[in-house]
Amino acid sequence: MLRFLTAGESHGPLLTAILEGMPAGLELSAEDVNEHLLRRQQGYGSGGRMQIEQDQVQFTGGVIAGKTTGGPISMLVHNRDWKNWAERDIAPMPTPRPGHADLTGTIKYDYDDLRLALERASARETAMRVAVGAVCRKLLNEFGVEIGGYVRSIGDIEANLSDEPPDYPARFAAAEESEVRCPDPDASVQMQEAIRQVKIDKDTLGGIIEVVVLNLPPGLGSHVHYDRRLTGKLAAAVCSVQSIKGVEIGSAFENTRKRGTQVHDEIYLDDSGTLCRHTNRAGGLEGGMTTGEPLIVRAAMKPISTTLTPLGSVNLATGEPDQTTYERSDFCATPRAVPVIEAMVSIVMADELLEKLGGDTIAELHTRFDALRRGKIDEFKLHNTEWRFGYVYP
Ligand code: EPS
């Protein structure tokens, strides 16, 4: 239902995005987007670039007088750093950094300088994902769906997130108060210290981000085909983010160490006649569809591959062994990657909601949303008698 493209280089004049498929009539302001662009620029561990940029969106299509028209939404974000590059003679970059797209991108596209790979592979592009995600979030908010995220770990420092049942809105709010976007204040201090130390050690750190979506109706996604299962769609979207190398739904990896009876979330009927769960180890998905419980997506971010301490490599111009040279970069980008993961999850979930509801206008969507099945016991029409397949074969 939704498609988007981004364009632009990290040090080029500007970044562009086009989002196609948003229905008409959604109220949308630059502030709805700028709020999240600003969040993406904040976080202890950022490098010098974030002192230069002040990302602000400009709508150039698809939003007239503060409302979406149903046409493609085009958005621009200017690179303030461009003025430092426009007239510069750019030094050659012959030695690829292990872990970056320098080498693989140059093999793939037969570039004559590694910087051409870097320019497009850079996480600068995530500004536009956040812009697109903010529009999708606005659509989800229209139906009461809320998205938030936080850092679970940086390096070997783990947040203590043992409140049961989890108070997600409180976690989201606490994370926004933290320099490293972690809701546990003690772990936040330790994470900041670990990042401070890694800077001194001329190295980098990664971490784990958790994004949670609240108030989703049950039955989004589908079990019927591999490419309609939400589990796969979310994993693909989140793993497409720069430096993300792993995705987990709920406590998936921890679940592998337990038995089935200790893992699966038992079903009960609450006082309002709604089917509910005591636990949510499935992370809000069963059979590739939403259960109606919070959707929990975790992303594993590797340490940034641009390190002040050189790594062994090869100079591709001379063929000689070489050491990498330092490019300005982040020491730990995990805190500011939280809004990026939120954005990718918002894009997938907005798409899923639109697929379920159909409709070209927000008003049409509301009518259909109000008629959705909610997992209430009196909605089911099970005949509770024997039945046959009915195929004639052979
Ligand atoms: C990045 C390197 C740094 C980061 C950049 C991603 O940029 P620069 O090379 O200009 O210092 O700050 O991230 C952003 C610019 C951004 O907006 O997130 C990289 O190589 O991926």
Q: Where are the domains of the chain?
A: 3-379
Residue whose CA is closest, atom 2 of ligand 1? 329
- Residue-level length of the chain: 394
CA of 92 to the centre of ligand 1 (A): 18
pLDDT along the chain (394 residues), means of 10: 97 98 98 98 92 96 98 98 96 97 98 98 98 98 98 98 94 98 98 97 97 98 98 98 98 98 98 96 98 98 95 98 91 97 99 96 97 96 97 95
- Structure token pair of residue 277: 């769960």
- The residue whose C-alpha atom lies closest to atom 20 belonging to ligand 1 is 122
pLDDT of residue 326: 86
Q: Measured from the CB, is residue 12 less than 6 Å from ligand 1?
A: no
Ligand 1 pocket member 229 (CB < 6 A): no
Best probe residue, ligand 1, of 44, 124, 244, 324 (max atoms within 8 Å of C-beta): 124
Give pLDDT, residue 163: 87
Name residue 202's amino acid. Answer: K
**Residue 328 Cα to ligand 1 middle (Å):** 8
CA-closest candidate to residue 369, choices 68, 132, 144: 144
Q: What angle do CA 300, 188, 231 make, to 5 degrees?
A: 25
How many CA atoms are closer than 13 Å to the CA of 28, on its beta-carbon side?
32
Give the separation between CA 373 and CA 394, rounded to whole angstroms: 38
Asked if residues 139 and 27 have their Cβ atoms less than 8 Å apart, the reply is no
47 lines ligand 1 (CB under 6 A): yes
Instruction: Specify whether the CB–CB gap between 117 and 102 falls below 8 A.
Output: yes
Residue nearest to atom 10 of ligand 1 (CA): 49
Q: What is the CATH number of domain 3-379?
A: 3.60.150.10
Determine the distance separating the centroid of ligand 1 and the alpha carbon of 157, expressed in angstroms.
24
Residue 203: CB within 6 Å of ligand 1?
no
Give the torsion sign (CA, 214, 218, 222, 224).
Answer: positive
Secondary structure of the chain in the HEC alphabet? CCEEEEECCCCCCEEEEEEECCCECCECCHHHHHHHHHHHHCCCCCCCHHHHCCCCEEEEECEECCEECCCCEEEEEECHHHHHCCCCCCCCCCCCCCCCCHHHHHHHHCCCCCHHHHHHHCHHHHHHHHHHHHHHHHHHHHCCCEEEEEEEEECCEECCCCCCCCCHHHHHHHHHHCCCCCCCHHHHHHHHHHHHHHHHCCCCCCEEEEEEEECCCCCCECCCCHHHCHHHHHHHHHHCCCCEEEEEECCHHHHCCCCHHHHCCCEEECCCCEEEECCCCCCCEECCEECCCCEEEEEEECCCCCCCCCCEEECCCCCCEEECCCCCCCCCCHHHHHHHHHHHHHHHHHHHHHHHHCCCEHHHHHHHHHCCCCCEHHHCCCCCCCCCCCCCCC
Give the Å distance between the CA of 5 and the centre of ligand 1: 20
